[in-house]
Chains A and B, each alone.
Chain A
Amino acid sequence: MKTKERILNRMTLRFPSLSENERFARLAVSGFISSLDPALDELSEIKTAVSEAVTNCIVHAYRDTVGEIRLEVRLLEGCRIYISVKDSGCGISDVKQARQPLFTTAPDEERAGLGFAIMESFSDKLRVSSKPARGTTVTMLRTLRTRKPADGKDS
C-alpha cells in the first residue's frame, strides 16, 4: 500500500511460522509503537489485528509446513501506523470471498472465519493482496487518536 506520509521510524521482523510466534509478533508490535503512547484500547485492537494476520500465515498460508513470515511496521507522520504481514505460502484464490465474515476454509479446526472482519474493524484501511501458490500480503493502516505525536512536538 502506498502512503504519502513521511516515514518517521520503521522495523522489520522475519520469523518462522511457529504458533508460539503469534504472541511474540503482537508483543513486538506493541513495544515498537509504544513511543506513540497509544491508549490501551487502541493498543489492544492493534495487537488483535496483528495476531489475526500472523495466525493466518501459520494456520492457512503454511498449512502442514513452516515458512517465513515478514512483519513490517512503519510509524508515519500524523500518528499513523502502517503494518504489513507477508507470507510466501499457498495464497488465496478468491480474496473477496475470504474477506467475508464467517468464511473459513478450516471450520473443523474451530476457526471462526472472523480474522479479516476483525482486522477490518480494528484498522482504518485493510488491503489484502494475494496470488495462489505465491503468497499473501496484508497491509493495515491505523491513525491513533494519540496524545503524543510521533514527530516529538506537543499537540
Chain B
Amino acid sequence: MPVTVFYDAKSRTVLAELSGDIDHCSAKDMRMPIDEEIMKRLPKQLILDFENVSFMDSSGIGLIIGRYKLMNDLGGDLIAVNPKPDVKKLMELAGVQRLCKLIYRKRRSLIGGMKL
C-alpha cells in the first residue's frame, strides 16, 4: 500500500503515512484515499508522514499543494513530517515550507498513540 490513513478523533487529525516512490504514476493512487478520509472526517489538521518515502519528484510537490488547498478550504492545517534528506531537499527547493509546517524529527505523540 503506498498510503495508509489513520484518524484521531480527539485531536481531529488525519494522518497519512506515505511509502515508496512518489512520482506521477504513484501520486494518482495516493490522492484518493487521503481525500476520502478528509472529506469523511473534516479534520482540523492533516499530517503527511514521509518517513518511508524513498524517492520523490515534483509530482510529490503537486500532491502536497493539492492537499494544502483542500485543508485550507476546510480551515485546517497541513503538516509534513520526517522526510529523508533528498526528499527534504526537494521540498525546500519547491518552497513547501511556505505552505505547511515541515517537521524533520520524528516525535513521540501526544495524539492517541499516533506518531507526530
Contacts and interface: CB of A to CB of B under 8 A. Distances in A.
Contacts of B75: none
A102 B85 CA distance: 23
Given A52-B58, A114-B61, A115-B58, A58 B24 contact: yes
A112 interface: yes
A22 B56 CA distance: 12
B66 A121 contact: no
A28 interface: no
Interface in A99-135: 109-112, 114-115, 117-118, 121
Interface of B: 21, 23-25, 27-28, 31, 55-59, 61-63, 65-66, 85-86, 89-90, 93-94
18 contacts: A20-B25, A22-B24, A22-B25, A23-B23, A23-B25, A26-B55, A41-B85, A41-B86, A48-B56, A52-B58, A55-B24, A109-B62, A110-B27, A110-B59, A112-B59, A112-B62, A114-B61, A115-B57
